[in-house]
Structure 1
Amino acid sequence: MPVSTEYQFKPHEQPFMVGSPANPDHPARRKVLYLLIGIIIGLTAGFQNGLLVVNLNTIQGELGLTPVEGGWISVSYNMTNACITVLLYKIRQQFGMSLFSKIALFFLLLATSLQWLVSSGLLTVYIGNLLDPYYLELIARGISGIAASAMTVLAIFYSLQGMPAAKRISGMILGFGLVQFGTPLSRIVSPYLAVEGDIESLFLFQFGLALLCFGLINLLELPPGKTDKVFEKLDILSFTFFAGGLAALCVFLVQGRITWWTTPWLSYPLIIALIGISTALWIETHRKSPMLQVRWMRSRNIIAFMVTGAVMRILLSEQSVGTAGLLTNLGYSNDQMVGFYGVVVAATLLALLISIWLTKATELRRPVIFAVALIALGAWIDTGASLNSTPEMFYMSQFFIAFAAVYFMGPMVFEGMLRAIANGPAYIISFSVIFSISQTIGGLVGAAIIQAFTTIRTQTHYADMMNSANLGDPATLPQIIQNVTRQATVAAYQDLFFVMAVMATVTTIILLLNFAYNRYHKRNPLSKELAILAKMREGK
């Protein structure tokens, strides 16, 4: 189908595939504008989840929610964010980038305006008797998950337009990397926006970012691309099972942390997740034109890619859940940790710039090994945590881990895209789903494992310490219990950092051995894919 524009694109400017924008030779000024807009969109996408994670307790307090109800807010965001990738890809292919951009903006404005209206109480005045603000927040967070996924795609495409042809893949690294700024930046700005627990300014800020994106995207739209009729009737059935299964898995992972894993009703979402995802994969395996290339996804290289991505996300929970959890238990609040997260932002920025500049298709394994080694080093440093630890004492270790969080992502995205493109454009959607799920679900699994581990180890240390404690005067018993609880908590986190350090060290050794084996035998794991891409370039 021809590109729907009067301008006739040159052969090298044509869209790479159906559903992606064309890549015209922009003048330098327009390239800069595309790049700046991509950066703003990427940061806005990151704030969708970052502000939720950072301020969930404040939102619970403002709305008078229990921890379980607060957990459902987190579930609402994660379940839509994890499963919507497939549908968004098809929408781009069927209806083009222009409509896709409008849909993304609609969901972004709807989500942020709902959250602001709920926090301000304006909406409650008119429909408070019809719908509880809590349910409005659930709806808003579900929409926000969709918006964040769509805005991430737009950030990538805008960044690609702003990059020179030789560095175009760096635009993809930039788009994914920008989203990683969401949580640390949210930690920095939240104390200044949510003063004394007032969340209205927080959501007004988010709504303002949405309006800014709306203006910028309408000011400079993406070039048009090719469209095709890609939706099939079976897509609805397959997506329903797939989305339902992922949603149930999110329920299990989030609520399991809150209600504990032995809660009887948690078995139901786990069963639903297994049935839903298995059924969707079975349908896709036996379709003539599948959305997901299941046989390719089951190949050894892709499973290794998915496992590596998930393991990295679990290891990186050492920072987002481990260190942050310890400092919270030691009594430090967000406003006392602005400097700490400033270091995290600086490390993230440095890693992103280096990754954009140095990532090469022929050297994708070495940066991943380096990133895992940095996580191991940071975790070993953190094993020295104590009751007297302050945020400043974690600056070095968390700089290493924050750097690793972004530095590994560029090569991972690069490798996944190479493997997908070499097999054909139809495989890119499968890569997108694999990467999205490995990061979202991997993060939830990491948080769940850490919470379970620290809870069990805290109870064990507490029992041991109380058995050996000299209780003495009954009047001092409450103070003794408080001190023992704090000591047991710190000891549990020391155990956590040790386990994470060992896991990261073992992972580094395994990756190093694999790297050395390939070097010794002069093998490139991506030689086949690189050869196919070289032929594709020659064909152009």
Structure 2
Amino acid sequence: MSLIFTGQQRLVVAIAALASFVAFLDGTVVNVALPAISRELGGGLVTQQWVVDAYLITLGALILLAGSVSDAYGRILVMRIGLIGFGIASIAIAAAPSPLFLIIARAVQGAAGAFLVPSSLALITSTIRGPLQGKAIGAWTALTTSAMVAGPLIGGLFVDFLSWRYVFLINVVPIGITLWLLTRLEARDVRRPGTRIDWLGGVMCTFGLGAMVYALIEQPKLGWTAPEIWIPLVVGILLFGGFLWRQQHTPSPILPLGLFKIRNFWTGNVATFFIYGALALNGFVVAVYLQQGAGLPATLAGLASLPVTILMILLSSRMGALAGKWGPRLFMTVGPLIMAVGALLLLSVGEDFNYWWQVLPSMFVFGFGLATTVSPLTAGILGAVDTSRSGIASAVNNAVSRVAGLLVIAMLAAIVGGALDLAGFHRAAIVTAGMMAIGGLVSYLGIRNGMPQPDPEPSVEQRPA
């Protein structure tokens, strides 16, 4: 079988990569900008946590709703909505006069981002199947991780020489290019007439997660016994529990619990939770500590993780292709264990800071493990699900990864011991390594190679008249 993309398949990969690039770029630039935001607007570690988590709350909760909307009304329409909304929210963030305005705008941006990643991956998985799908997802991974190069570098330069506000305007160019490329795509949206969407479930999920995260972030300041903490926590748990109950009984769930009967799907998502929670923790503490603890300027702090990105770009497509041939289990097991070793290498960071000996070795090891993991993980999970459910399957997987990051950042004060000093940095490295090791173990025990892939449902173009 030929493993060469057609012209339209290349266009699909390019559109999917650029659409996701926007969301990934924002994720990489924000960590570099956090110390500058805190200096200008105030609020310390709590403001920094909320700048990250406000985005992740709406992204993680609404990404499920967006997956259902994508399956019901078409990936291309949903992608356009997400791109336009993301651009408007980015401009609002750049103009933020206060921490509260900034946090609200970040929440709106997260809601728009929820429409980007699942629709972009679903565009690939619904149009490219078989061995080419692993290669396509690998190419998507390699291209989107270029945001990890552009984000810290451009973001650091803007923070050091202009303002953190310009960091959030970087998205304008890829948004414009993606909207133009969508006009060149020959594929048409596949829509399901009469599909009902569980809007109430989306509201319950969003407010449930939001209330729990509020309690986790504010708890170190107020204590568990404060009504401002335990009441939102209880309400959040009840709302999220009610959301799960509703998904089991509603005829149109945004989280089809039946998907979790598929072994590779549920196991892969459990592994995703630990792996991506660890990634979020590592990205946050490295970017912030290198500035506030080690005293590096934003540009150098952003460039510190450059080896990770280079290895991702060089190896992701190859790893995706190999996983398509050999199966994802080996890669999903070994990759996280390698990243665990990379995280432990950060324990060598001391008061007498030296990037070349204390941080760089960790970045190389971590980058190799990440490149080994990401494409096989994505291909293994989405390849186990029928193409007609690719939108919601992609949304569930992305929601799991975002919620994992959301909860870990919300618990940051407990993880680092209240302050991101050297001791807190070391504690975060140990927690990162432990979560990575659990992710690898779950993959080894649960993932199976060679599971039969469901036959794809014919698209509108393929169905007989």
TM-score normalized with structure 1 length: 0.72
The answer to whether residue 403 in structure 2 is matched with residue 441 in structure 1 is: yes
Q: Which residue of 88, 93, 98 maps to 1:110?
A: 88
Residues 20-35 of structure 1 aligned to structure 2 (within 5 Å): 28=7, 30-35=8-13
Contact 1:306–1:438 under 8 Å retained in 2 = yes
Is the Cα–Cα contact under 8 Å of residues 271 and 440 in structure 2 kept in the other structure?
Answer: no
Counterpart check, 1:366 vs 2:330:
yes
Query: Is residue 214 of structure 2 the alignment partner of residue 246 of structure 1?
Result: no
Whole-Å separation in 1 of the counterparts to 2:164 and 2:456: 53
Q: Whole-Å Cα distance in 1 between the matches of residues 77 and 438 of structure 2?
A: 47
Q: How many Å apart are 1:75 and its aligned residue?
A: 3.4
The residue matched to 1:292 in structure 2 has which SS? Answer: coil
Residues of 2 paired with 1:162 and 1:420: CA distance? 14
Deviation at 1:162, TM superposition (A): 9.5
Query: Contact (CA 8 Å) 1:253, 1:444: kept in 2 or not?
Result: no
Say if 2:237 is the partner of 1:314.
no
Partner of 2:461: none
Q: Percent identity?
A: 16
Letter in 1 for 2:207: G
Q: Larger relative CO (CA 8 A, sep 6+): 1 or 2?
A: 2
| Partner in structure 2 of residue 56 of structure 1 | 34
- Written as runs of structure 1 = structure 2, the 5 A alignment for 1:385-404 is 385-393=349-357, 394-404=359-369
Alpha-carbon distance, 1:316 to partner:
3.1
* 1:32-57 Cα deviation digits (max 9, x unpaired): 44444443333222123332332133
C-alpha distance in 1 between matches for 2:89 and 2:6 = 35
One-letter amino acid matched to 1:247: G
1:293 to 1:95, Cα distance in 2 relative to 1, 3 A: closer
Cα distance change of structure 1 residues 41 and 283 upon mapping to structure 2, 3 Å threshold: closer
**C-alpha offsets along residues 113-163 of structure 1, whole Å, 9 cap, x if unaligned?**
3234x16xxxxxxxxxxxx65554344322211232322245435666997
Which amino acid is 2:33 matched to? N
CA contact (8 A) 1:160 1:170 kept: no
- Pick aligned residue for 1:530 from 425, 433, 452: 452
Paired residues of 2:20 and 2:120 also in contact (CA < 8 A): yes
Mark the CA change 1:40 to 1:271 in structure 2 (over 3 Å): closer, same or farther.
same
- Contact 1:111/1:144, CA 8 A, preserved across alignment: yes
Q: Which residues of 2 match residues 432-471 of structure 1 at below 5 A?
A: 432-449=394-411, 451-455=413-417
Structure-2 change in CA distance of 1:78 and 1:60 (3 Å)? same
Partner of 2:163: 198
Which residue is equivalent to 1:91? 69
- For 2:206 and 2:200, how far apart are their aligned partners in 1? 10
- Mapped pair 1:45 → 2:10: no
| Bigger Rg, which one | 1
Structure 1: gaps spanning 5 or more residues: 1-24, 120-131, 459-485, 516-523
TM-score computed with the length of structure 2 as normaliser: 0.82
Which residue identity lines up with residue 115 of structure 1 in the other structure?
Answer: I
Contact 1:380 1:501 in 2 (8 A): yes
- Partner Cα separation in structure 1 for residue 234 and residue 181 of structure 2: 44
| 8 Å Cα contact 2:138/2:318 also seen in 1 | no
5 Å matches for 1:117-516? 118=95, 134=99, 136-156=101-121, 166-175=131-140, 178-182=143-147, 185-196=150-161, 198-218=163-183, 220-221=184-185, 223-232=187-196, 235-256=198-219, 264-297=227-260, 303-317=266-280, 319-328=282-291, 329-360=293-324, 362-393=326-357, 394-421=359-386, 425-426=388-389, 428=390, 431-449=393-411, 451-455=413-417, 489-498=421-430, 500-501=432-433, 504=436, 514=445
Which whole-Å CA distance do the structure 1 matches of 2:23 and 2:230 have between them? 33
Asked whether the 8 Å contact 1:94–1:231 carries over to 2, the reply is yes
**Structure 1 residues 400, 228: closer, same or farther in 2, change over 3 A?**
same
Amino acid at match of 2:283: S
Check conservation: 2:279, 2:432, Cα contact below 8 A: no
Shift in CA distance, 261/337, structure 1 to aligned 2, threshold 3 Å: farther
Residues matched between the structures, number: 455
| Distance of 1:507 and 1:27 partners within structure 2 | 35
- 1:365 Cα shift? 0.9
Offset from partner CA, 1:437-485 (integer Å, 9 cap, x none): 32112123333555423216x8xxxxxxxxxxxxxxxxxxxxxxxxxxx
* Cα separation, 1, equivalents of 2:226 and 2:142: 37
- Quote the offset at 1:191 in angstroms: 2.3
Partner Cα distance (1:49, 1:506) in 2: 24
Q: 1:323 to 1:229 in 2, by over 3 A?
A: same
Q: Which residue of 2 aligns with 1:74?
A: 52
Rounded to whole Å, the distance in 2 between the matches of 1:210 and 1:357 is 28
Cα gap change, 1:532 to 1:141, in 2 (>3 Å): closer
The answer as to whether partners of 2:59 and 2:110 remain within 8 angstroms in 1 is yes
The Cα shift of 1:279 comes to: 0.9
The residue type paired with residue 112 of structure 1 is: S
